[in-house]
Amino acid sequence: MTAQLSRHPRSIVFLGTAHDNGGTSILASNLAKAMRARGHHVEEWYLFGSDGDLPAGARVFVPAKRSRSPTLLISLFFRVVAALRQSKPDVLFGLQPYSNLLVGVAGRIAGIRNRIPTYHGPRAFVTPSLMALDDIVYWLGLYTQMIACANNVAVTYHRDDMAVVVNGHDVPQAFSRAEARKTLGLPADGLILGQIGRLSHQKNQSFSLELIKRMPEAILVLLGIGPDEAALNSQIEVAGLAQRVHIVPAIAHGRIGLFYSAIDLALFPSRYEGLSLAAIEAIHAGVPSLCTDIPSFREMFAASPLLTAQLLLPQGDYAAWIARIRNILADQDLRRHIGSELARLSPAYGFEVMAEQYLRLFDQWDRPPHRPIRAAVQTGL
C-alpha cells in the first residue's frame, strides 16, 4: 500500500489478551505498521505475556502467561483504565474476547471516544460467559463500532450494526524449493505436507498426524506453538512418526514463504475458523490447501466453484482427504487449474485491501456526525 499521510493523525491503541503469534495478533501488528505509515501514532498493548515474539515497543501488563484469577483480572481492569486515562488514545481496538470487554467498559470509564471490538471467530466457539458479558456491554451501548473479520463470523452475532472488514494478508516471499527445504532441514525430494497454526484443539493437528500415519510416502511439517504441543509429541511418539513429522516452532514473518515454498500441499483441518490468515497466505503463495468444509473456508473460496469443489473436504474423513491429496498430486492439469484459480482469487485478500478499509473508518470520523460509520464502511467495501 502506498503510504499517504493522513490529514488528521490519530492516536491508536490495539489491546489484545496475549501476542501468541496467532492470526489475530499478527493482523494487529501489520495494521499498526500500515497506520504508522499514514502518520498515526499506534501502540500495541497486551494483557499477558506469551511464548510468541512481541512486536518492538509493545506493552505487556502482566509478563506471566494468561490467568483466570479473578483478583488478577480485576487488577488488570484498573491498570488498563489508568493507562488509558494517561495515554488518552483517539481510538481503542480490541483483539480478543476479554480485551474486547475492556475496550467497551474500561475504555468508556477512561473517556475514550472510539471503542471498537473486533471479532475473529464464530460466537459458538467463544467461552459462553465472555459472550454473555459481551452482550451486556453491547446492549449498554459501550461499543461505538464493531468489526467482524468475515461474513460467516458476523452472522453468528446477530447484530445489524456490525461491519465486516474481510481479513487480508501480505504475499509471502517465494523461495526455490531446494533452498526452502534445506533451510528447514527437510528432505530435498519426496512428498511434504504442511500445516501452520497454533498447536491447539481448534487447528486439529491430530487429524494431520493420523493422515501421515496412513500415508507412508509423506512427511508432515507442523509450524507453530501452542497448548497441545505435549499431546501432539506424545501422539507422534506412540505412532512411530518421529522421522516423518517435523515441528517447527516459528519462522520470522518476513521469511514465512520458506514454509509455503517447501511443501506440496497445505492442510487446514480446523474445527472452526473466522477467516484464516494462514490459509490466505497459502492462496497468495499458490499452494493448494485442503480445508475442512466449514463456513469459514466455504466463504473464502466462494468466488471459485473449482476451489470449492476440490479443496473442501468433510471433517474427519481420512479416506476422502488421502484420495484428494493423491488425486491433486497425480493430475497435473487439475493442479494447474487450481493454481490459476488461486492466482485469480489472491487480490481480493490482499493486505492493502483490508488496511484501506480500516483506514476508511478514520475518514468517516472526520465527516459530519449524521453519517453513520457502519453505513459508510459497508458501502465502501
Cβ–Cβ < 8 Å for 34, 355: yes
Task: Note the pLDDT of residue 156.
Answer: 96
Q: What pLDDT is recorded for position 365?
A: 58
Q: For residue 262, what are the CA distances in angstroms to 81, 161, 339? A: 46, 43, 16
Q: How far is CA 335 from the centre of its chain?
A: 26
3-state SS of the chain is CCCCCCCCCCEEEEEEEECCCCHHHHHHHHHHHHHHHCCCEEEEEEEECCCCCCCCCCEEEECCCCCCCHHHHHHHHHHHHHHHHHHCCCEEEECCHHHHHHHHHHHHHCCCCEEECEECCCHHHCCHHHHHHHHHHHHCCCCCCEEECCHHHHCCCCCCCEEECCCCECCCCCCCHHHHHHHCCCCCCCEEEEEECCCCCCCCHHHHHHHHHHCCCEEEEEECCCCCHHHHHHHHHHHCCCCCEEEECCCCHHHCHHHHHHCCEEEECCCCCCCCHHHHHHHHHCCCEEEECCHHHHHHCCCCHHHHHHHEECCCCHHHHHHHHHHHHHCHHHHHHHHHHHHHHHHHHEHHHHHHHHHHHHHHHCCCCCCCHHHHHHHHC
In the CATH hierarchy, which top-level class contains the domain 11-168+350-380?
Answer: alpha beta
Candidates 295, 328, 330; CA nearest to 311 is 328
* Fold topology of 177-349: Rossmann fold (3.40.50)
By CB neighbour count within 10 A (0-12 exposed, 13-18 middle, 19+ buried), where does 172 fall?
buried
pLDDT of residue 377: 36
Q: How far is CA 339 from CA 153, 300, 303, 346, in A?
A: 27, 15, 14, 10
- Summary mean pLDDT of the chain: 90
Tens digits of per-residue pLDDT, 276-331?
A: 999 999 999 999 999 999 999 999 999 999 999 999 999 999 999 999 999 999 99
- Report pLDDT for 381: 29
Tens of pLDDT, residue by residue over 25-66, are: 888 888 998 899 889 999 999 999 876 677 888 999 999 888
- Structure confidence at residue 6 (pLDDT): 66
Give the pLDDT means over successive 10-residue stretches in the chain (381 positions).
Answer: 67 89 81 90 92 81 87 94 96 94 97 95 94 97 95 95 93 96 96 96 97 97 94 96 95 92 98 94 97 97 98 97 97 97 96 88 56 35 29
C-alpha cell at 135: 452482550
* pLDDT of 341: 98
| CATH 3.40.50.2000 boundaries in the chain | 11-168+350-380, 177-349
Q: What is the pLDDT of residue 23?
A: 77
Report the distance separating Cα 156 and Cα 281, nearest Å: 25
Each residue's pLDDT tens digit, 215-227: 999 999 999 988 9
